[in-house]
């Protein structure tokens, strides 16, 4: 039997691992595998910071598995087809009765798994990336929900009615006999660039960050989450994106702390759970509509749009040189840290698609190439929401005003000042769009606005109307 880790780099609440340990009792040593497939990862636009984050977690996983008498072999394969060939040979050579893994969501990953089965690899799969198994929350006609709020209601009902299995952390006594330690070898640890060093390993986050967030921050989440200068959100997205933390564990802990949360949908704390349910919603969308993995507009009405796509405007956006301070500061946050606050993701995505009339897929790709939490379902969902091409997206005529967003969500310019030190000395009132003020004061260290908001808004309305 072989355990195959993919997008589930954890021992905590891992269904494939749980089954594997249960089956494996008494046979030593147990073998697990993880493929490093850099060519495939690059083809999927994974950022270097995400790859580093994965490698650090794989090294930690190898150590944790040793304590369970499981040896993790890290194998370098260029792409998915090489993974399949490797597994086929491995299964034949070692007479493997079962390869155990957790399912992945995206289309290429599904094709790879199908190909494994077609080639006779005895693959058995579980689900580890969501709280409620994908495809279970359906409307009365047995179809997928296309609007979030009814999905959320049905999802909550499902959670209330079904006990979902939480598997906890396996302890050494759950696994095989202890005398096999000597037979276990730890691969040379994967080389890490430590680009992601600002993000601690999941184990530390489980011990410190999550309890702290639940205890001190979640009650103010609804009021503070939209202000990028305040650290009011959990920062858990990178861990969920690579499967280093289980979403079921997050919910279980949350219910322990707020026992009535599933029926308290107007509470401050629920606002946070709501976001986790958005994550489930977007994963269900990709599950039901695999064409989303191929970057197709969810709404067929928008599939024939011909975007103007000016490469110079795109470059200005990527580099944070649009002349709109909040947009530019947000893009600098992304480029410098590999993460961006949710409110800002909405603002810059709206700006790219509606002010600059650039195809949302360009922005989606650029985000994936930079983000530590790059995740196809959430990224695609967020971009299609902002571009109004998606499922339950914002209406096409809603065009964020980047100056107004800045005044509302960064009123003193604290966030802007952090990433745009050249604007640091401007008065609060002027910092949101300082061009006139800077001209008057003969200050000239900021680039001009690449589009005029009012004109761009009208152009967007006309473009979408056509």
Ligand X SMILES: Cc1cc2nc3c(=O)[nH]c(=O)nc-3n(C[C@H](O)[C@H](O)[C@H](O)COP(=O)(O)OP(=O)(O)OC[C@H]3O[C@@H](n4cnc5c(N)ncnc54)[C@H](O)[C@@H]3O)c2cc1C
Q: Which sign, positive or negative, has the C-alpha torsion 242, 243, 246, 247?
A: positive
Select 16 or 344, whichever has its Cβ closest to ligand X.
344
Stretch 78-107 residues interacting with ligand X (CB under 6 A): none
Q: Give the sign of the dihedral formed by CA 61, CA 279, CA 45, CA 118.
A: positive
Q: In the complex with ligand X, which residue's Cβ is closer, 68 or 347?
A: 347
The correct pick among 29, 222, 235, 323 for binding ligand X (CB under 6 A) is 235
Min CB(44)–ligand X separation in Å: 12
Binding ligand X by CB under 6 A: which of 373, 390, 396, 423?
A: 373
Total number of residues shown for the chain? 466
Q: Is 278 a catalytic residue?
A: yes
Orientation angle between helical segments 376-387 and 268-288, nearest 10 degrees: 100
DSSP secondary structure letter of residue 233: S
**Least distance in Å: CB of 340 to ligand X?**
7
User: Pick the catalytic residue: 155, 199, 272, 278?
Assistant: 278
Question: Does 447 participate in catalysis according to the annotation?
Answer: no
Residue 275 annotated to the active site:
yes
Cα dihedral 324/329/335/337 (nearest 10): -160
Per the annotation, the verdict on 342 as an active-site residue is yes
From the list 3, 10, 127, the residue with the least C-alpha distance to 58 is: 10
Has 362 been annotated as catalytic?
Answer: no
Residue choice 2, 137, 184, 240 for contact with ligand X (CB under 6 A): 240
Spatial separation of the C-alpha atoms in residues 130 and 141, rounded to whole Å: 23
How far is the CA of 352 from the CAs of 20, 188, 278, 332, 427, in angstroms?
46, 44, 23, 15, 27
What is the four-CA torsion angle of 332, 334, 336, 338, rounded to 10 degrees? 180
Stretch that binds ligand X, among 27-35, 142-150, 163-171, 234-242 (CB under 6 A): 234-242
Active site residue 383: yes
How near is the Cβ of 221 to ligand X at its closest, in Å? 7
Q: Which residues contact 446 (CB under 8 A, 6 or more apart)?
A: 323, 325, 422, 423, 434, 435, 438
Q: Which stretch binds ligand X (CB under 6 A): 17-25, 102-110, 124-132, 274-282?
A: 274-282
| For ligand X, the closer CB: 5 or 367 | 367
Contact assessment for residue 175 and residue 21, using Cβ atoms and an 8 Å cutoff:
yes
Q: For residues 101 and 285, which CB has a smaller minimum distance to ligand X in the complex?
A: 285
With CB under 6 A as the contact rule, the residue among 34, 145, 258, 282 that binds ligand X is: 282
386 scored as a contact of ligand X (CB under 6 A): yes
Question: Could you list the active site residues?
Answer: 275, 278, 307, 342, 360, 383
Give the interface with ligand X as residue ranges (CB under 6 A).
Answer: 225, 233-237, 240-241, 275-276, 278-279, 282, 342, 345-346, 349, 367, 371, 373-375, 378-379, 381-383, 386
């Amino acid at each position: 039997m072989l355990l195959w880790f993919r997008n589930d780099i954890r021992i905590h609440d891992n269904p494939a691992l749980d089954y594997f340990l249960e089956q494996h009792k008494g046979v030593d040593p147990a073998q697990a595998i993880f493929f490093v497939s850099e060519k495939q990862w690059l083809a999927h636009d994974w950022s270097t910071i995400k790859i580093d984050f994965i490698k650090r977690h794989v090294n930690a996983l190898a150590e944790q598995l040793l304590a369970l008498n499981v040896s993790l072999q890290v194998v370098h394969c260029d792409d998915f087809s090489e993974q399949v060939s490797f597994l086929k040979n491995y299964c034949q050579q070692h007479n493997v009765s079962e390869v155990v893994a957790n399912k992945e969501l995206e289309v290429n990953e599904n094709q790879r798994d199908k190909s494994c089965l077609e080639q006779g690899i005895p693959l058995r799969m579980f689900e580890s990336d969501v709280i409620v198994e994908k495809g279970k929350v359906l409307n009365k006609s047995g179809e997928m929900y296309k609007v979030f709020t009814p999905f959320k209601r049905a999802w909550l009902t499902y959670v209330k009615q079904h006990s979902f299995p939480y598997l906890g952390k396996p302890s050494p006594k759950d696994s095989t006999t202890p005398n096999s330690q000597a037979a276990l070898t730890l691969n040379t640890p994967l080389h890490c660039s430590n680009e992601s060093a600002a993000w601690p390993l999941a184990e530390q986050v489980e011990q410190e960050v999550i309890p702290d967030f639940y205890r001190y921050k979640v009650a103010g989440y609804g009021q503070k989450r939209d202000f990028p200068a305040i650290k009011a959100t959990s920062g858990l997205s990178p861990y969920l994106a690579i499967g280093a933390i289980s979403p079921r564990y997050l919910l279980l802990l949350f219910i322990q702390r707020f026992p009535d949360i599933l029926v308290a949908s107007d509470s401050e704390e629920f606002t946070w759970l709501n976001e986790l349910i958005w994550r489930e919603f977007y994963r269900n969308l990709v599950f039901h509509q695999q064409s989303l993995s191929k970057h197709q507009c969810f709404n067929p009405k928008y599939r024939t749009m011909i975007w103007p796509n000016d490469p110079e405007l795109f470059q200005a956006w990527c580099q944070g040189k649009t002349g709109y301070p909040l947009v530019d500061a947000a893009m600098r946050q992304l480029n410098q840290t590999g993460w961006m606050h949710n409110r800002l993701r909405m603002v810059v995505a709206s700006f790219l698609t509606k002010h600059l009339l650039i195809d949302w897929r360009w922005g989606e790709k650029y985000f994936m190439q930079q983000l530590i939490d790059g995740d196809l379902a959430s990224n695609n969902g967020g971009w299609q929401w902002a571009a109004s091409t998606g499922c339950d997206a914002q209406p096409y005529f809603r065009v964020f005003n980047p100056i107004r967003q800045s005044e509302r969500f960064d009123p003193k310019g604290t966030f802007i000042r952090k990433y745009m030190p050249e604007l640091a000395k401007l008065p609060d009132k002027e910092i949101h769009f300082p061009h006139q003020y800077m001209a008057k004061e003969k200050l000239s260290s900021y680039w001009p606005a690449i589009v005029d908001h009012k004109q761009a808004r009208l152009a967007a309305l006309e473009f979408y109307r056509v």
